[in-house]
Chains A and B, each alone.
Chain A
Amino acid sequence: MRDRGYFLVFVIAVFLQILANNFLHLPSYLIICILPTLICLAPLRIRTPFLLIIAFITAFATDFLSSGILGLTAVSLLPVAFCRDFFYKLFIGKESFVRQDELSSKKHGFFRVSALLIPSLLIYFLIFVLADAAGTQPLLFNGLRLLCSTVSSFLLSILLVKVIAP
């Protein structure tokens, strides 16, 4: 997918995320977030410093336009942007990274793309859940919340992969 197409999907997905945050009332142990997936699927031409800025602005806008705590999404999303290149080299391959291949579930395989997404989602939700609980929730609740949120967001991310990186 060309960069323009990616950015179009990106804007729509962020808009949908804001809508979901405001109007979708989910149980307290479930969080749906596709922002880490969007960051992971960003074209490799976007280098880490720019990706960090994009992640920060996106997270700030999401928190500002949602009823959430300002800064919570940014705190969780920045490590995902910072680790994106590392995870890409680790799970998709160094050669592919050097060639700046477009990520494709058909070309690179579904499992490799999943391997890229799952650690990113785990990092995001681990920080999000811990920062949101702020030491007031028991470990079991936090663990369950992390697991449910990662699984559900991963399932949703698969749909996004089909659109951005078919």
Chain B
Amino acid sequence: MARGQRNYAILVSAALFIGLEIAAFGMLSSSSVLQNVWINRLSHRTMAALWGWEESVNSYFSLRKKIEVVTRENEELSSAVRALQKELLRAGIDNPELSEGFTYTPATIVKMSRNNRLNYVILDKGSEDGVEPGDGIITSRGVVGIVDAVDDHLSYGQSSMNLYSKVSARIGHSGMVGPLSWDGRSSNKAKITDLPLHISVEKGDTVYTSGLSAIFPAGIPLGTTGELSIVNGATNELEVSLFQDYTAVRYVTLAKKERKEEISSLEELANTD
């Protein structure tokens, strides 16, 4: 028998079997109350399992949409928190998490290199969305990079996993400040250099952005402190284990310093004098 004919015969047999089995169950259900209840219970359980399975499949395939919605909501909530923090400051209540003077734009990573020494990141927001070179790229788990160039709808940034990238970091909320840079080897390790020899650092302390540059707001947790080592007998170098997993990052926030032009012109004026 040809394969097509065999498949057709199997299909006919299966269809007939299902049809007759349904008829038999129908007879069984109508001839006894006990069996009727049992069959109803069985069919409800089967339907519930099928619906549950369908729901799982649907929710799996709509995950990306949900993540985008949650990201938008998260950004709205963050804006609300920042607005409240400003109000607190105006009311004279001190808040170390304050990041006043920044505006935020959510963005999605279009492309990101991770295996080079000069890694870069491309985002789906450009000059038409208000992005400018020098804006910070952040997440709730750390710093991802700095915008270098912008197109109408895209922006190119220097990743934090770039040997030229430096972020002003503070050990603890009110500790020592130093430049944090990638160690050039692993994706979750960085180092704070140029620390004076006299300081001592507890292992496991949290490292935050200092907020002293016009790129990143203060108080973003970056990682935890590790070993402290002396470099060339002149300065200390502190190892930092980063919170941000660069292999999994997809949604980021662009931080733009308000009155950046005023700061720049002031700096230029100071340099010419």
Residues of A whose CB lies within 8 Å of any CB of B are 47-49, 52-53, 56, 59-60, 69-72, 74-75, 78-79, 81-82, 131, 134-136
Contacts and interface: CB of A to CB of B under 8 A. Distances in A.
**Main SS of the interface on chain A?**
helix
Nearest to B12: A49
B34 A78 contact: no
Contact of B38 (A47, A82, A131): A131
Interface in B7-54: 9, 12-14, 16-17, 20-21, 23-32, 34-35, 37-38, 41
**Main SS of the interface on chain B?**
helix
B27 A52 contact: no
A131 B28 contact: yes
A78 B24 contact: yes
Contacts of A78: 17, 20-21, 24
Given A47-B9, A48-B13, A69-B35, A75 B28 contact: yes
Name which of B9, B23, B25, B27 has the most chain A CB atoms within 10 A of its CB. Answer: B27
A124 B9 CA distance: 24
Give me the 9 closest cross-chain CB pairs, A-B, nearest first: A71-B27, A71-B28, A134-B38, A74-B24, A70-B31, A48-B13, A75-B24, A82-B17, A134-B34
Interface residues of B, number: 23
B13 A82 contact: yes
Given A131-B35, A136-B34, A71 B26 contact: yes
A49 B9 CA distance: 8
A78 B41 CA distance: 22
B28 A69 contact: yes
16 contacts: A47-B13, A48-B13, A48-B17, A49-B13, A56-B24, A69-B31, A70-B28, A70-B31, A71-B29, A71-B30, A72-B28, A75-B28, A78-B20, A79-B17, A82-B14, A131-B35
B233 to A, nearest CB: 78
A134 B17 contact: no
Contacts of B29: 71
A68 B269 CA distance: 103
A138 to B, nearest CB: 15
A69 to B, nearest CB: 5
Given A69-B31, A79-B17, 15 more contacts: A47-B9, A48-B13, A48-B17, A49-B16, A56-B24, A69-B35, A70-B30, A72-B28, A72-B35, A74-B23, A78-B20, A78-B24, A82-B13, A82-B14, A135-B38
Interface string B123-136: 00000000000000
B90 to A, nearest CB: 68
Interface of B: 9, 12-14, 16-17, 20-21, 23-32, 34-35, 37-38, 41
Contacts of A81: 17
Contact of A69 (B12, B13, B32, B41): B32
A73 to B, nearest CB: 9
Contacts of A59: 24
B24 A135 contact: no
A134 B20 contact: no
A70 B34 contact: no
A41 B38 CA distance: 32
A160 B26 CA distance: 32
Nearest to A57: B20
Contacts of B27: 60, 70-71, 74
Given A47-B9, A131-B35, A131-B38, A52 B28 contact: no
Contacts of A75: 21, 24-25, 28
Contacts of A53: 16, 20
Contacts of B13: 47-49, 52, 82
A52 B34 contact: no
B142 to A, nearest CB: 56
